[in-house]
Structure 1
Amino acid sequence: MTKKRYDPIQHIGVNATEKIFLKEFGWITRRILESDMGVDMEVEICVNNNPTGQLIGVQIKTGASYFKTDRFGDVIYRGSQTHLDYWLNHSLPIIIILHNPDDNSTIWQKITSETITNTSKGWKVEIPIKQTLNHKAITEISEMNKFPIYFQRLQRLGIHRKLIERIAKGQQIVLEIEQWANKTAGHAHTKIIKVSEKDNEDKLLSEGGYVHFSPEQDVYTIFPWAEFEIDEEHYNDYDSDEFYSNYGVWDPEEKVYAGTTISWQEYVSGLPRIRYMDTGGGEIYFYRLIFSLNDLGKAFITMNTYLENGNQLKLLI
């Protein structure tokens, strides 16, 4: 039997959760499509529409069956010990969200050692039925990640570890960005894609939505361990059309370009390293960027390899 890529019912809950964070919280969401064992989404806290770099990990469960309450009016969620260990040791604070598609209700709870109760059969977490995921929860959830900026950068290394390891192994990973230039203050949709070497079929690893997004600067904030260059194969036709449109000498009789006012080399040398293709008549800017590791990313891989080989690091103060 072929394994499903995702459960359609679960997808309803993910969509509902994303809508709440985007519209009621005004926060940035990034879905994780390649299973990260217990995390469906990362959410970045924003203040006055400005990203703070503070991230929350989210696990989402969908279905009316999750909403059976005990005599105190709490929903009891039980999970595997493997998931609990993963959540409690995750580099991000984790919340669990339950969504009921029957009445569109959505509730949440922190996953911490304080909210977890060990039982004879494993563990459980109590979620008050009235603890709704809405704008009233902004302050409490925001307080979950108040770490210093240097620790937040370490968090990004931790949550992107699988991606960094893929790149270090030589896999071609690209970042696609669609930015609505004249709408919603720089609203953008991003996809992280693995390019197949065998059949050239791209595999979607994750995607997300952003507001007030400036690709040329913000990609380095989101991925502080990466360098980027354009995927030249995808830009060739667009760059050629732009070159002749701006610098071509048109022969109206032959209906061809008779030459150009500058050379192709001059034109290419003046192009930004990270640039877009206008795919929507000035409305949509499309980027396709290839990941590589910078010194921070390479050092992270070296350190992890060192530790995985049984070595220890000593901190001298």
Structure 2
Amino acid sequence: MKADSNSRTGRIGVAGTALLFERLGWIFREQPIEDYGIDAHLEVVESNTATGKLIALQIKSGKSWFKEKTTDGFVFRGKTDHLEYWQKHSLPVMVVLYDDEEEIAYWQAVNSSNVPKTNKAWKLIIPFEQQINILSLKKIQEFSRKLTATNGYTILSFQDVSHGGAKRYSANILLSKESGGVTKRSTR
């Protein structure tokens, strides 16, 4: 029976990414059963303490993922159903490109501000400087705070919607029953 080289390349990407994060002291949990666009969960570790902050990872490996480039990074193109799944996911999602020859992984957060639509679907630029290494941990930690449960509420999404000279933000916030808040609906 012939071995599937695509499957082997994918396994190398997941294992290589796991090794990079494990060496940095973070917790990597592969999703071995029924992968629907999330290959692993990553738990942020701060000061040798597991934080409970999780990030979902979609990992791609092999030369074909590194062919298309801009001056800033690699171009990742995907299907619309994957993007919709990731944007509705309960965890923040990152796409990771693993270069198995160089043993380097590049990452980018998936959010509406960095995913332009194209004629056929969408694309995501994965910056050359966003390698999985000690220098990127702080930025990944900040991204992991997409969902923050604090004092009876959870921030589901937070977005800068500034325009012109006006600085504005939009947030979707879920209040817990325990917060004792009263729900009001007002119209103006």
TM-score normalised by structure 1 residue count: 0.45
Letter in 2 for 1:7: S
Hey, what does 2:171 align to over in structure 1?
Answer: none
Q: 1:261-276 counterparts in 2 under 5 A?
A: none
* Distance of 2:182 and 2:88 partners within structure 1: 24
> How far apart are 1:71 and its partner, in Å?
4.3
Hey, what does 1:56 align to over in structure 2?
Answer: 55
- Find the residue that maps to 1:124 and give its secondary structure: strand
Residues 151 and 63 (structure 1 numbering): CA distance in 2 closer, same or farther, change over 3 Å?
A: farther
> How far apart are 1:69 and its partner, in Å?
4.0
Letter in 1 for 2:119: S
Residues 71 and 143 (structure 1 numbering): CA distance in 2 closer, same or farther, change over 3 Å?
A: closer
Letter in 1 for 2:104: S
- Find the residue that maps to 1:78 and give its secondary structure: strand
Point out 4+ residue stretches in structure 1 off by more than 4 angstroms: 149-152
The answer to whether structure 1 residue 38 and structure 2 residue 37 are counterparts is: yes
Q: 1:98-109 counterparts in 2 under 5 A?
A: 98-109=97-108
CA-to-aligned-CA distance 1:97-141 (integer Å, 9 cap, x gap): 001112222111010101101011110001122321111111111
CA-to-aligned-CA distance 1:227-272 (integer Å, 9 cap, x gap): xxxxxxxxxxxxxxxxxxxxxxxxxxxxxxxxxxxxxxxxxxxxxx
Choose 1 or 2 for highest CA Rg.
1
Hey, what does 1:23 align to over in structure 2?
Answer: 23
Hey, what does 2:64 align to over in structure 1?
Answer: 65
- Find the residue that maps to 2:78 and give its secondary structure: coil
* Distance of 1:80 and 1:316 partners within structure 2: 41
Structure 1: where are the runs of 5+ without partners?
A: 155-314
* Distance of 2:78 and 2:12 partners within structure 1: 20
Hey, what does 1:118 align to over in structure 2?
Answer: 117
Q: 1:70 touches 1:76 (CA, 8 Å); kept in 2?
A: yes
CA-to-aligned-CA distance 1:41-95 (integer Å, 9 cap, x gap): 0011111111111111001000012112434142100011111000000000000
CA-to-aligned-CA distance 1:158-187 (integer Å, 9 cap, x gap): xxxxxxxxxxxxxxxxxxxxxxxxxxxxxx
Q: 1:69 touches 1:129 (CA, 8 Å); kept in 2?
A: no
Residues 107 and 151 (structure 1 numbering): CA distance in 2 closer, same or farther, change over 3 Å?
A: farther
Hey, what does 1:77 align to over in structure 2?
Answer: 76
Number of corresponding residues: 151
* Distance of 2:73 and 2:67 partners within structure 1: 8
Residues 121 and 29 (structure 1 numbering): CA distance in 2 closer, same or farther, change over 3 Å?
A: same
Hey, what does 1:9 align to over in structure 2?
Answer: 9
Letter in 2 for 1:49: N
* Distance of 1:29 and 1:151 partners within structure 2: 27
TM-score normalised by structure 2 residue count: 0.74
* Distance of 2:71 and 2:85 partners within structure 1: 29
* Distance of 2:39 and 2:182 partners within structure 1: 38
Q: 1:116 touches 1:124 (CA, 8 Å); kept in 2?
A: yes
Provide the identity percentage: 33
* Distance of 1:61 and 1:71 partners within structure 2: 18
The answer to whether structure 1 residue 145 and structure 2 residue 144 are counterparts is: yes
